[in-house]
A and B are shown apart, each in its own frame.
Chain A
Amino acid sequence: MNDATHSQGRIFPLSVVIVVLTVIWYAGAVYLNSGQLIDRYNKRSVQWDITQLAADAWSMKRPVLPAPHQVVRELKKTVLDQKVTSKRSLIYHAGVTLSSALLGFVLGTVLGIGLAIGIVYVTTLDRSLMPWIIASQTVPILALAPMIIVVLGSVGITGLFPKSVISMYLCFFPVVVGMVKGLRSPEPMLLDQMHTYYASRAQVFFRLRLPSSIPFLFASLKVAIALSIVGAIVAELPTGGQGGLGARLLTGSYYGQTTMIWAALITASVVSATLVSIVALGERTMLRRLDGGQVARS
């Protein structure tokens, strides 16, 4: 099957899902905003019908749930009609979030791979480290993030890095788990075979363990890259004023600007989805090289 027919086969179900979601969203906007509106109608004792209600529900200034077209208008206003360097541009804020997320992702991946190598090769690390790594993820990041920012700030580290630390904190976990599994995935027979070749540890690592771990690594990286955005946004909440999608969310909720919140949320998910797709593309390319095109064929 070639790529063209493949994507054609996907477009139809995808559009159906989008249409259904949009309809539900519009209905939801009417339902959620109706309370406020009906109160207002009653106070002013105006006559109303369902068309009136829908029209009003879809054009409120501070709706509980804004209608899709309001969010689209907000997106147009903050994405297309602004210079990217302006503080009012969502692209600017997305850029702020993206840069700290990416730095955190890279740091987390490096840390995760490093820890995994340690765990696989050093027995004492396997016993001592893994419980801590698991415990680290049971602490709610929302509670931890302000402390990390404050602690790092008090020793003079501010700006991008503290935010990246929070992304890193979320990212390294799936990478450790995936890489440990991946580095241990070669069959005993293949390891015995390396033993008969009198291969050094480094040779076994680079020729056998590392290539065997690549599929596991990429599965983890897809989770990690999405988490890195979550981490960056969470990190921006306590540092409110400095920009980023998290700051937009905070400002939006502060002023009851739900449209602004939704626009930021949608931007965040578009950014995440794009990043995950890029990792998935990298994955496909790597796997194709790893098995000489068997994946590509099937």
Chain B
Amino acid sequence: MSDNASSSDTVVQIDQLSLDFDTVDGPVHALSGIDLAIREGEFVSLIGPSGCGKTTLLRVIADLEKHSSGKILVNGVSPDQARQDRSYGYVFQAPALYPWRTVTKNVVLPLEIMGLTRSQQQTRAKKYLDLVNLSGFENKYPWQLSGGMQQRVSIARALSVEPQLLLMDEPFGALDEITRDHLNEQLLELWRKTRKTVVFVTHSIPEAVFLSSRVVVMSPRPGRVMDVIECNLPSERTLDIRETPDFLSLAHRVRQGLKAGHSYDDE
């Protein structure tokens, strides 16, 4: 039955996926029976309390972690194959920039590895630094940039590979609220322009609802999907939308979903 569910525009297809970590105090059920299909062009947020397996799920998609059972297809192939095809870009929680490389040199790092020519590398670096509003900073070193700018470099670097799928693990988690709001608007704008498929991990309900076309609510022990909430907010939206009743009722639903997982009180 689940076989039929995977249509041609499904970018990530996950069926009954489980993952157990073997630790010294026995197995940790990080993910259990996850079903999720992410369609092309969707912006999907994974939200849930700490330890519910958001990072682990993203890492399984990226082939950084092997699942224990179930099925997963990325772009219709195995995560390993998808990684070899360089079909996704991964943005880590920290900018993960190389201190000895300038902004441009950081952005072209994956392109060097892919073997693009120098001029192709330069063109792409320019294009994606433009896109994240960082033109003029090409020759700066990471330590000369603010945290928010560094994270934008890291996003430009993930985009420079020109993947159809963007995996982001709390990319703005370490930033202050004002910078975060600003980057949220920029990211939304970027998604509108490029129509990439985005899987976005966050702790913040407003961030998830504001950015996403769908919010996946997860709960811990074992990590599983509690609720999937469609957010049909108008595609042209600004931060002001967070005051509207539509937005607030969506946020309320997400909060209810988190509560249903009675997430924090079963420690």
Contacts and interface: CB of A to CB of B under 8 A. Distances in A.
A39 interface: no
Contacts of B88: 196
A196 B90 contact: yes
A11 interface: no
B215 to A, nearest CB: 25
Interface in B153-206: 161
Contacts of B6: none
Nearest to A190: B96
A196 B62 contact: yes
B90 A193 contact: yes
Counting chain B CB atoms within 10 Å of each CB, which of A189, A196, A203 scores highest? A196
B113 A211 contact: no
A208 B83 CA distance: 19
Nearest to B109: A207
A221 to B, nearest CB: 18
A290 interface: yes
B222 interface: no
A292 B137 CA distance: 14
Interface string B104-126: 00000110111000000000000
Contacts of A200: 113
A195 B90 CA distance: 10
A28 B98 CA distance: 54
What is the predominant secondary structure among interface residues of chain A facing chain B? helix
A207 B112 contact: yes
Give the bracket for the number of chain B residues in contact with chain A: 20 to 34
A87 to B, nearest CB: 48
Counting chain B CB atoms within 10 Å of each CB, which of A189, A190, A198, A208 scores highest? A198
B113 A199 contact: yes
A99 B143 CA distance: 42
Contacts of A197: 86, 109-110, 113-114, 161
Interface in B62-78: 62-64
B146 interface: no
B27 to A, nearest CB: 21
B83 A292 contact: no
A203 B113 contact: yes
Contacts of A208: 98
A293 interface: yes
B141 interface: yes
Nearest to B59: A192
A292 B113 contact: no
B141 A294 contact: yes
Contacts of A293: 141
Contact of B64 (A187, A195, A291, A292): A195
Nearest to A186: B98
Contact of B100 (A193, A195, A211): A211
B243 to A, nearest CB: 37
Contacts of B110: 197
Given A198-B84, A292-B141, A294-B143, A207 B113 contact: yes
B141 A189 contact: no
A292 B96 contact: no
Contacts of B26: none
Contacts of B161: 197
B237 to A, nearest CB: 31
A88 B112 CA distance: 58
Interface of B: 62-64, 83-84, 86, 88-90, 92, 94, 96, 98-100, 102, 109-110, 112-114, 141, 143-144, 161
11 contacts: A190-B98, A193-B90, A196-B63, A196-B89, A198-B84, A198-B86, A290-B99, A291-B99, A292-B100, A292-B143, A292-B144
Interface of A: 187, 189-190, 192-200, 203, 207-208, 211, 289-294
Nearest first, the 9 closest Cβ-Cβ pairs linking A and B are: A292-B141, A290-B100, A196-B90, A197-B110, A199-B113, A197-B113, A291-B99, A294-B143, A189-B96
Given A190-B96, A196-B90, 12 more contacts: A189-B96, A193-B96, A195-B64, A196-B64, A197-B86, A197-B109, A197-B113, A197-B161, A203-B113, A207-B109, A290-B100, A291-B141
